């Protein structure tokens, strides 16, 4: 990458654009935490039911979870986010919630920190968090 004050090469520009396009996805839902071996199927069933159709308004618990995320991080495109610190890949974030499930994406470059925090925030609210990339529940036993 170019140093501060240096012109960016075409390669640097493409690398920067690619990192903005890449996302990291999580699903959070209401319900009992399934066995690890069943989690992917539970996710697929909920996704097909609540996102492949017309959708439903988010439940109170999912709405409160989304609001807690937005209390911590700016909505994508929020004019107060002058330093472009919003971790979300799209917005409004509430549009990623339907019924008892939320399926949302964050910038890949911020995924380690943000996904861990999102998983912890879900667990604190009694919600289930499923990591689509890892194909496993979060937080894992080795996450704080």
Asked if 62 and 28 count as a contact pair (C-beta separation under 8 A), the reply is yes
pLDDT (0 to 100) of residue 54:
81
Residue pLDDT, tens place only, 53-106? 888 999 999 999 999 999 999 999 999 999 999 999 999 999 999 999 999 999
Structural domain boundaries in the chain: 23-138
Asked if 89 and 21 count as a contact pair (C-beta separation under 8 A), the reply is no
Mean pLDDT check: name the lowest of 11-20, 45-54, 111-120: 11-20
Mean pLDDT of 15-44: 86
Asked if 98 and 50 count as a contact pair (C-beta separation under 8 A), the reply is yes
Whose tokens are 């939320």? That residue is 102
Mean pLDDT of 110-117: 96
């Amino acid at each position: 990458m170019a140093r501060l004050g240096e012109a960016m090469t075409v390669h640097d520009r493409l690398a920067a654009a690619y990192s903005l396009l890449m996302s990291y996805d999580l699903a959070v839902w209401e319900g009992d935490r399934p066995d690890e071996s069943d989690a992917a199927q539970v996710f697929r069933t909920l996704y097909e039911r609540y996102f492949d159709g017309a959708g439903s308004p988010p439940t109170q618990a999912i709405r409160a979870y989304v609001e807690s995320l937005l209390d911590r991080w700016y909505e994508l495109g929020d004019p107060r986010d002058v330093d472009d610190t919003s971790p979300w890949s799209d917005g409004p974030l509430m549009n990623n919630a339907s019924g008892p499930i939320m399926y949302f994406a964050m910038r890949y470059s911020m995924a380690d920190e943000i996904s861990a925090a999102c998983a912890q925030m879900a667990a604190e609210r009694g919600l289930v968090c499923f990591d689509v990339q890892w194909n496993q529940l979060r937080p894992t036993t080795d996450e704080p």
